[in-house]
Structure 1
């Protein structure tokens, strides 16, 4: 009898461990029981689809064609203050924007093989499907800003310019001295330190860690007030559309959105951004990095170190601002105009 009970307990534990560490399958858009498809989409090399949204002047008349990459727990509708730019500015500069749902978000199919390289190639394919020409601009915010590093690595020949806006930093990139990354890491809330440790060292436990009830998981994912600066909280109080979009952004499942972002963003990268070479040695384009000096999610000390290691980056530090500063319309306008003004 004891052997049977022991065997049953072991079997039960194994079943529990399997269910706890294996996420449910995503609810893919357009499939039975999945969310409906409402956005225009392009079909990629491997059969997946990317949903997108266009703003500004037409592609045919645009002088500047910009692909915008959204951040964590966001989607194609959350394109900073792009839609609040005055029509006069958009028309005068000839700005065309396209934002897209990153894989697994919104109405874009999940990519279980997603890497920094694959998302860069997705962006290149999107540009080709839309006929944006041989070169285009990329802009990314937060986790979307981190994606731009992959563009600089894998498709620099396709870029007219690149802008990283409060880009998420991987504390384990080799280019950071141990004391610099450790000091910045220790500024994170303890529960976020543990969440990042799991994502980096035991990615197979990421789903379990973020769904178990014994310990507090990611404060960033839960949007705890402690992860935001005072200015951030004021801006978030005004961003009612972002709160509405959040549910739609993750409608296919949290694992293929939030959890996979954690695994990729803080996992073991195949390249170190601080080893990148200037993609515009003849000044035919430029790279800009914008950072708030009171950002509680992305330590400013790490961005300063990156800027020192890569002097070809135009570094802009926004005093008194946290992570959400790009939602201030005048700052957003300055961010968008910066690479274009250098061309004039």
Structure 2
């Protein structure tokens, strides 16, 4: 029950995909050396370790675009995630959105050695294989922001701009003040879940797939986890299909989710709150977008992060919850600030 609550908390990680996570299809034979192959309806590139990543494009074709933005999906999602930017806007700004399945999701091969470093490396390799140039934009959503923190740590020189949308908070970051986290129930849930996922995966698998006790399938619409606007979104979406026991019973799906969760909420090899400004010679191109009514990631913590890292430009949506990428106006502001450097409307400045 507790871990399911935590999973749902992170499923707000967004975006909810149009199709649930599935085991990756069999990789091509060793004779296939193409870096851009068509498989199961999606294009895939081969990474240096032999794994394949599947990706899709939205907006302007890559060769005709002025801006290439790699979109990193959240927990339990895929490259089919929703990002409510209109085709008209993408054509106006000449943006190509590149959405890919992270390791073990959708049609991408799993990575049993998943780590902070490998997640950042996958993004860089994807950019290189697709010849995006020396610099490219990245946009992460909730749990999909931890690979981007890795990029900011390891390869900031490759990033033309960064948007962290409702980025989740790892309560193991050493610099988080105890007065902000002491009474935060999310911290206890995440630590308990990481312990069980790391040390008792068989027990966790049994609990999530057993039928002896009542399940918590209705939690994905629990107002304790989602704001009013989030609940409005959930009314017109199929919900979190990945929580269906038939899906989680597949060990490939379960193992990918478990590894992703443990890396995201486990101990990191750096503290993001101690990062130095990687772009001291110019105006910041790094943005955090947060919903004031977010019940998955509290805005107080997000304000603390931006306060510790003043080179990050912080934007707060007054009535926004965790599902910001379902708001077309917010998505337009995100892209305009990211690729053009435009100041978002006054309404997105945090109110004290």
Please classify the TM superposition score into its range, dividing by the shorter chain length. Answer: 0.7 to 0.9
Tell me the secondary structure at the aligned position of residue 253 of structure 1.
helix
Other-structure match for 1:18: none
CA-to-aligned-CA distance 1:284-332 (integer Å, 9 cap, x gap): 6500001111111112121111011000000011112210022111111
Alignment CA distance shift 1:160-1:195 (3 Å): closer
Aligned equivalent of 2:237? 239
Which residue in the other structure is 1:96 paired with? 96
User: Any gaps of 5 or more consecutive residues in structure 1?
Assistant: 1-25
Pair 1:216–1:67, CA change in 2 (3 A): farther
Aligned pair in 2 of structure 1 residues 306, 180: CA closer, same or farther (>3 Å)? same
Count of aligned pairs between the two proteins: 306
Mapped partners of 1:220, 1:160: distance in 2: 41
TM-score by length of 2: 0.78
Distance change (3 Å), C-alpha of 1:128 and 1:330: same
Q: Deviations over 1:252-310 (max 9, x none)?
A: 73323322222011101111110111122122650000111111111212111101100
Q: CA deviation digits over 1:155-213, x for unaligned, max 9?
A: 11110000000011101100101222223x32x3xxx8345323058613245335426
Q: What is the correspondence of 1:36-51 to structure 2 with a 5 Å cutoff?
A: 37-51=40-54
Q: Show the counterpart of 2:264.
A: 265
* Whole-angstrom CA distance in 2 between matches of 1:285 and 1:236: 34
Structure 1: 4+ residue segments shifted above 6 A: 214-217, 244-252
- Maintained 8 Å contact 2:138/2:161: yes
Q: CA RMSD in A?
A: 3.0
TM-score by length of 1: 0.80
**Aligned twin of 1:322:** 321
Decide which of 193, 198, 214 is 2:193's aligned counterpart: 198
Kept after mapping to 1: 8 A contact 2:53/2:102:
yes
Is the CA contact (8 Å cut-off) linking 2:161 and 2:338 kept in structure 1? yes
Per-residue CA deviations over 1:93-150 (Å, capped at 9, x if unaligned) read: 1101100001010010011111111111100000011110000000011111232111
The 1:101/1:221 distance shift into structure 2, 3 A limit, reads farther
Structure 1 residues 299 and 105: alpha-carbon distance in aligned structure 2, compared to 1, 3 A threshold: same
Q: Secondary structure at the match of 1:67?
A: strand
Q: How does 1:322-341 map to 2 (within 5 A)?
A: 322-341=321-340
Q: State how far apart, in whole Å, the 2-side matches of 1:220 and 1:175 are.
A: 35
CA contact under 8 A between 2:197 and 2:258: conserved in structure 1?
A: no
Distance in 1 of aligned mates of 2:247 and 2:288: 26
2:160 equivalent to 1:160:
yes
In structure 1, how many angstroms separate the alpha carbons of the residues matched to 2:161 and 2:327?
22
Q: Which secondary structure state, in structure 2, belongs to the residue aligned with residue 261 of structure 1?
A: helix
Corresponding residue for residue 16 of structure 1: none
CA-CA distance at 1:340 after TM superposition: 2.1
C-alpha distance in 1, partners of 2:328/2:341?
A: 21
Q: How does 1:14-163 map to 2 (within 5 A)?
A: 27-30=23-26, 37-82=40-85, 85-87=86-88, 89-163=89-163
Residue 109 of structure 1: SS of its match in structure 2? coil
C-alpha distance in 1 between matches for 2:281 and 2:342: 13
Q: Is the 8 A contact 1:28 1:252 kept in 2?
A: no
CA distance in 1, matches of 2:337, 2:220: 30
Matched residue of 1:288: which SS? strand
